[in-house]
Chain A
Amino acid sequence: MDENVLEMVDIVKVFPGVIANDRVNFSLKAGEIHALLGENGAGKTTLMNILYGIYRMDSGVIKVDGRKVTIRSPRDAIKLGIGMVHQNFKLIPAHTVVENVILGSEKNGFILDLKKSGEEIKNLASSFGLKVDPFSEVWKLSMGERQRVEILKLLYKNVRIMILDEPTAVLTPQEKRELFSSLREMSSKGKSIIFITHKLDEVLEISDRVTVLRRGKNVATKVTKETNKIELANLMIGRPIIFEYSKNPQKLSGLVLKVENVRVLDEEGNVRLKGVSFSLNGGEIVGVAGIAGNGQKELAEAITGLKRVSSGKIFVRGKDLTNASPKKFFDNGVLFIPEERLGVGTAPNLSIAENLILKSYDNKLFSGPVFLNFDAIQKFAEKLVKDFEILCSSVNVPVKFLSGGNLQKVVLARELGNIINNAGGNVIVAMYPTRGLDVGATEYVRKLFLKMRDEGNAIIFFSEDLEEILSISDRVFVMFDGRIVGEIDSSEADVEKIGLMMAGSVAS
């Protein structure tokens, strides 16, 4: 067990302008589950893409079983017994599980015996506790099942070093538990697993050892049993981090948003939102849980005027805004933080200042009858940059050059910075507001939401992170198949129950 199956020594990878990996060292023992922990942009995925032959390193040595190897492509990696499950699955949806698994394998002759291969895969799957029907087409499978197919692809090719990139992001809590038990099964059978994550709880739950990366350098490798959450957090971000948000007692200030039996169709005429009703009060945060693709996007777009509703009504502070323009929603204090920050949230080539007035260009402060008042815009932007702690050399920099966290702050500043209704009563609709942000920026966003709540605004946000939902929201909605299938007070919520609802198996 103490033998290293893999050693990566002094790995350096430079991308234009950034050192993604700066003399990183990493080692893996046979049969161990080794977590690779770090914030977004810490260089975890880069390091593993080098190991899997997707990137070429600039310098460094990779040794497998003590022997120096050169890995030029994923094919080389697989030959050495190294396989990777990416965050975005690489499967062919139109093909069956068997066809996906045996693709590229040399085991079969020219004529395929899919039935026999299917049996083999079934046996292989059940020996690791991976439940999946080998003859089903992949497009019919859930995300969790697709992930199992990805793992089976590697097992079928006799991979013994398995890299999993953020494998829990697409799973329900139940699926996650099943994945973890399969991983333990694999490690007990001698497979070594590299588990990339930025979630501390997962590290503590599943790994034997953990290597922490920060800004492209490795800061520590620890035996998991000998460390704890606080130490790991410190290593990962270089300072202590808040786990518990102190929430002030709730002061509800009356109905702000009322949604009645709203239905939304997609371009192809399929019903995406199947009759959703709820109301939001000023002074509360509602977190919406659910696996992506269950109507969250449609709901957010319906209540911000971006998507037409085919039936149902939407009232903002008593005013009927059903199928009004997005501008009308914005002018009535419905503020939107979209999922895609660059492109939907901001215009990439416009400057910070220009992006900040995108929705208030017609405000008398900024525009005369013909010309924009650039002095006023500049001053306004500089104030917001200061208020929202946006790091930039000038407000005239195009936003495409900003980091994810700063970009999100620009969107937040535009939406929340010049609130029409300072007395509260605004509706803030946020899609995955902290996705891809580093810990610092995440903390900032959550604190800002709590502050807006205390000022009497209503916040509804969509998130994949149950912990985030439970830590800041007052109420929790669970969406499944175009409906809100559960509504729970967050003080009574438990992860287990929410997880079952997310999978559609329980209605409250």
Chain B
Amino acid sequence: MEAIKVDPLTILTTMFILMVQEGSILLVATLGEIFTERSGILNLGVEGLICFGALSSFIVYYLTGNWIIATLAAASAGLMLSLIHAFVSITLKANQTVSGLAITILGLGLSSFIGRPIALSRIRIDPLESVRVPLLSEIPVIGPSFFNQNPLVYFSYIMVIVLWFILYKTRFGLNLRSVGENPSMADSLGINVFLTRYVATSVGGALCGISGALLILGYYPSWYDGITAGRGWIAVALVIFSSWNPLYAFFGAYFFGLVGTLNATFQSIGFRAIPTDFFRTLPYLLTILVLIIFSSTRFRRRKMPASLGKPYTREL
């Protein structure tokens, strides 16, 4: 087969479009997990939450044809599953790593079970239409990629600012961060530690669910087992990569999104010197690398919420 001659600008634009699609899915989940972890709750159930959210949005969108209702369904699905994690780790004070892993297994299992008939029937839905942002979408490369996307992608941009604002500029955000750093002190100052952590965990779970909706409605308009393909774990790594800051998450998510598109891009230009399997593995390799580098105590000490993963018990 002869390599097709394409204009480099077109290649770059295509690459960026794919990057934004993939990156936005990661971004919403990462934002959710940042919000949760900032309150001191480690939720390793992200993968399961995304998957369950994806299935819920698929079913509801198929039945109603309304993407907003489908997205809300995904959010509630994520919220409900994460409430289990909240109850187990906040109220029952169980080990959060174990509980989180259980949520992942539960979310994946439940989706696979409920989704089996759908997977067999090979139903497809129509992906969400793109909405062009006037003026901004005229910018070369950046315009078509960032500003000609479906509404949920725009939602992900807005959430970066919203979450950053809540965390750093509101009283609730200060309380939430303080609960994640030193819950006993926050408690002595009259902050409701349990409520704050429940809110943070549920909001985080809802966002992970929405990440699943973005995956289905914007990207993979069908359903099959393992559709999330480890994106939840990449999001968990991205939380650390972005130092628990929503603004950095933006860059981290699109960086990983870009890495995820390399395979398609190189295939499209007929570059075969490196096997495609390598590019498909690359995001996961990077995830492992990020986890190793950024988990060193030297890096984590100042950035990680000091009480992350530690249940809070009020002393008498």
Contact = CB atoms under 8 A, between A and B. Distances in A.
Contacts of A104: 175, 186, 189-191
Interface string A98-130: 010011100011111010000000000000000
A52 to B, nearest CB: 9
A75 B190 contact: yes
B169 A103 contact: no
Contact of B174 (A74, A109, A112, A268): A112
- Interface residues of A, dominant DSSP: loop
A75 B171 contact: no
Contact of A110 (B170, B190, B297): B170
Contact of B181 (A73, A74, A94, A269): A94
Given A73-B188, A103-B189, A110 B172 contact: yes
Contacts of A268: 297-298
A332 B20 CA distance: 68
Given A90-B182, A94-B302, A95-B177, A108 B297 contact: no
B185 interface: yes
Interface residues of A, number: 24
Contact of A90 (B185, B297, B298, B303): B185
B96 interface: no
B159 interface: no
A94 B306 contact: yes
B178 interface: yes
A124 B205 CA distance: 42
A75 B25 CA distance: 43
B240 to A, nearest CB: 15
Contacts of A114: 169
A111 B189 contact: no
Interface string B289-301: 0000000011000
A78 B22 CA distance: 50
B161 to A, nearest CB: 14
Contacts of A112: 169-171, 174
B79 to A, nearest CB: 22
Most chain B beta carbons < 10 A, residue from A74, A92, A93, A99: A92
Interface string B179-211: 001100110111100000000000000000000
A111 B302 contact: no
Q: How large is the interface on B (under 10, 10 to 19, 20 to 34, 35 or more residues)?
A: 20 to 34
Contacts of B302: 93-94, 139
A103 B178 contact: yes
Contacts of A92: 177-178, 181-182, 185, 306
Contacts of A244: none
Contacts of A108: 171
A57 B178 CA distance: 30
Nearest to B314: A73
Interface in B261-316: 297-298, 302-303, 305-306
A104 B174 CA distance: 9
Interface string A69-87: 0000111001000000000
A75 B228 CA distance: 46
Contacts of A111: 169-171
A74 B185 CA distance: 10
Contacts of B178: 92, 95, 99, 103
A102 B297 contact: no
B239 to A, nearest CB: 16
Nearest to A109: B171
B315 to A, nearest CB: 9
A401 to B, nearest CB: 24
A94 B305 CA distance: 8
A267 interface: yes
Given A75-B189, A111-B170, A112-B170, A267 B182 contact: no
A380 B41 CA distance: 54
Nearest to A107: B171
A284 to B, nearest CB: 40
A99 B174 contact: yes
A186 B278 CA distance: 68
Most chain A beta carbons < 10 A, residue from B189, B303, B305: B189
Interface string A12-40: 00000000000000000000000000000
Nearest to B182: A92
Contact of A103 (B186, B298, B305, B306): B186
A353 B188 CA distance: 44
A140 B158 CA distance: 33
B67 to A, nearest CB: 31
Interface string A249-292: 00000000000000000011100000000000000000000000
Nearest to A111: B170
17 contacts: A73-B188, A78-B189, A90-B188, A92-B181, A92-B306, A94-B302, A94-B306, A95-B177, A95-B178, A99-B177, A103-B178, A108-B171, A111-B170, A112-B170, A112-B171, A112-B174, A114-B169
Interface of A: 73-75, 78, 90-95, 99, 102-104, 108-112, 114, 139, 267-269
List the 8 shortest-distance A-B pairs measured between CB atoms, nearest first: A104-B189, A74-B188, A92-B181, A75-B190, A90-B185, A268-B298, A104-B190, A92-B182
Given A75-B189, A99-B177, 10 more contacts: A75-B188, A75-B190, A78-B189, A92-B181, A94-B305, A103-B189, A104-B175, A104-B190, A111-B170, A114-B169
